Amino acid sequence: MRATYLSSIYLALGIFSSVAILGCGSSGTTSSPASQVSNQVSNVQPIAVNQGPASNYVDGAFTSVTICVPGSTTSCQTIGGILVDTGSSGLRILSSALTVSLPQQIDAGGHAISECAAFADGVTWGPVQKADVKMAGEVASSLPVQVIGASNFSTIPTACTAQGAPEDDLGSLGANGLLGIGQAVQDCGLSCSESGFVQNTYFSCPASGCIAITQSLAQQVQNPVASFATDNNGVIVELPTVSGSEATVNGSLIFGIGTQSNNGLGGATVFGTDPFGDFTTTYKAVLYQSFLDSGSNGIYFLNTSVTALPVCTDLTFLYCPTAAQTINVVNTAQPGTNGATAPASFIAGNGDALVKTSNNAAVSDLTGPQPGNFDFGLPFFFGRNVYLGITGKSTPAGTGPFTAY
């Protein structure tokens, strides 16, 4: 079954993956990426692991984003408490946190376009609007973003709630928005732009009710980094080591890979991934699908029957071994990419004890179950510089998609 899934990805990637990684420097007279320009801009965006705007988050990295009405330098707003999410693509902002009025995206018939975005634990629903998105010295101009929980889109189509429970307010989202900076450029891609089967992702919303539609790639909600004028080939998430737990820790989100003096790969191992950032992990001699996801607040993997780690009695979505255990795995590039492989280890601590004995927001050893694969969430980022190369973008390590640490 996994083989079927993988083979469909190979077909989709096809020729691309065979030349993607390690294919740089093959044209022109210089090996410098095209995005390396002389007039460099600030590419360092501060991030912090704290309790977030709902004052209850554990293991979430938050940042601020400035959004402006496209072309305006005065109709702007800086919104804090935005969750940094390497597991998705696109900027999504809670309506309740938004004070500027952004232009609504419409279809050919003049009807507003809205989106249903599916995540592991729920869905976000709301209109697609356009904004200039600014972080550090970088700008993504006229970028389609999603506004979540907008009052004039309060009726969620049943085709959307069919995909999960809505996360449409601060209580359910735990953040003022999501900054999706994964490997994918668009949040849906060709599945939503081709007319063979209309996905329940983008909707046209006349007064009579919302209907699922296709949405062109350019009009889809997308990774702001890929739209920057410079430093647009990927990101680095830098967070310090956390010993046990700490109230808060500060780090950086660096834009670009190998485009400036502060974003080289150094000694990082580069793992080729599929277009969504998936690679593989071997644990106890079995191969599983895996991904690096700063938007998951723990390292979630497999089930008790495989790991022998009991789930907690109170926080039943976490593992609770009586004594902390070191978990050893081997990470390997997605088959058909660059073949990189390297061991990694992390610690599974007692989830109930780690979360309930303090109000600390940065917790190092949080783990839990997840069906059939490895979700290397935020604790894996502590003490590692994690690189994400965007699909189709050139870097000194080859063309994305890839991940590296």
- Interacting positions 284-343 with another protein (CB under 8 A): 289, 291, 293, 295-298, 300, 303, 305-306, 311, 314-317
CB of 301 to another protein, least distance (A): 10
Give residue for tokens 């179950």: 369
CA distance 110 to 104: 10
* Sequence-distant (≥ 6) Cβ neighbours of residue 46 within 8 angstroms: 63, 64, 250, 251, 252, 253
Name the segment binding another protein (CB under 8 A); options: 33-41, 147-155, 274-282, 396-404.
274-282
* Structural Rg of the chain based on CA atoms: 21
Residue from 41, 120, 330, 342 binding another protein (CB under 8 A): 120
CA distance 249 to 6: 37
Q: Does 179 bind another protein (CB under 8 A)?
A: no
CB of 303 to another protein, least distance (A): 6
Nearer to another protein, 12 or 44 (CB): 12
Query: Which pairing describes strands 245-246 and 211-213: parallel, antiparallel, or unpaired?
Result: unpaired
Cα 155 to the center of its chain, rounded Å: 27
Q: Does 251 bind another protein (CB under 8 A)?
A: no
CB of 213 to another protein, least distance (A): 14
Beta strands in 50-121 (DSSP E): 61-68, 76-85, 89-94, 112-119
CB of 275 to another protein, least distance (A): 8
State which amino acid sits at residue 70. P
CA distance 140 to 133: 5
Name the segment binding another protein (CB under 8 A); options: 105-113, 117-125, 233-241, 257-265.
117-125
Q: Does 5 bind another protein (CB under 8 A)?
A: yes
Could you tell me if 221 and 92 are in contact, meaning their C-beta atoms sit under 8 angstroms apart? Answer: yes
Query: Which pairing describes strands 177-181 and 76-85: parallel, antiparallel, or unpaired?
Result: parallel
Residue from 119, 141, 262, 358 binding another protein (CB under 8 A): 119
Question: Given the rule CB under 8 A, which residues bind another protein?
Answer: 1, 4-5, 56-60, 83, 87-89, 117-122, 158-159, 161-165, 171-172, 174, 180, 182, 184, 187-189, 191, 196-197, 199-201, 274-278, 289, 291, 293, 295-298, 300, 303, 305-306, 311, 314-317, 355, 368-373, 375, 377
